[in-house]
Amino acid sequence: MKKTVLTAVLLIVSIALYGQKDVTKFLGIPVDGTKAEMIQKLKAKGYTSSTLDKDVLVGEFNGRDVNIHVATNNNKVWRIAVIDVLETDERQIKIKFNNLCKQFENNKNYVSLLLDQTLSDEEKISYEMTVHAKQYQAVFYQEPANVDTAAMTEEFNSFLLTKYTEEELANPTEEMKSKMNTDLITYMSEKLLKKTVWFTIVEDYGKYSIIMFYDNKYNQASGDDL
């Protein structure tokens, strides 16, 4: 395939992601391996086991007291859940939610597919959750780390060769170039979605808190066990 074609495609693709090994991280720790391994690594960060459940860790995260839960699939960690200990009222939870959105937006390690996920001053959280069962969520994706450009290019080439012949790639039409751009953006977006970090508002008897999820979707259940 001519380098000019690949270069044109790469210029349009706004995200560069290579390899399954580049998984979601929590506090710099890959969301992967066994639960026991993950718990030990989190304890090394200063978290301690809850007195009620040794598999639940307690400590401080991003300035808040939290409980940390480790979820697995086939004995592999796929999710870290970070749950606020302290509940608050509707006004304060909106402020917390919006502050988190801004923190992620200003963090170069994350990207978002949405322009603005903050809540407006007019949003009636209590009413919407109670009457319309509305869910309040914000979703971000971790940027790739330590991208191997040569390996990434090889992967792109292999991917394109599953859809086009070498002759077509050597002399693509304008229509093919447009289709290749769309194919690659879709392909790479799907890989980016594997590194999802999101948070949501939960309500309990009129009090509110936030749960954050760090998901490694490479390890998520996909129905293979059914």
Segment 193-208, tens digit of pLDDT: 889 999 999 999 999 9
Residue at 209: amino acid letter = S
Please return the burial class of 155, using the count of CB atoms within 10 Å of its CB with bins 0-12, 13-18 and 19+. middle
Alpha-carbon dihedral 31, 33, 39, 44, rounded to 10 degrees: -80
Asked if residue 74 lies in contact with residue 202, where contact means CB atoms within 8 angstroms, the answer is no
DSSP 46: T
Predicted structure pTM score:
0.78
Asked if residue 191 lies in contact with residue 13, where contact means CB atoms within 8 angstroms, the answer is no
Residues 4-48: tens digit of each pLDDT: 444 434 433 434 444 446 899 999 999 999 999 999 999 999 999
2-7 contacts at long range (C-beta below 8 A, 24 or more positions apart): 2/169, 2/170, 5/169, 5/172, 5/177, 5/180, 6/153, 6/156, 6/157
181-186 contacts at long range (C-beta below 8 A, 24 or more positions apart): 181/8, 181/9, 181/12, 181/13, 183/159, 184/9, 184/12, 184/13, 184/156, 184/159, 184/160, 185/12, 185/13, 185/14
Residues 48-76: tens digit of each pLDDT: 999 999 999 999 999 999 999 999 999 99
Asked if residue 77 lies in contact with residue 33, where contact means CB atoms within 8 angstroms, the answer is yes
The arithmetic mean of pLDDT across residues 159-177, rounded, is: 84
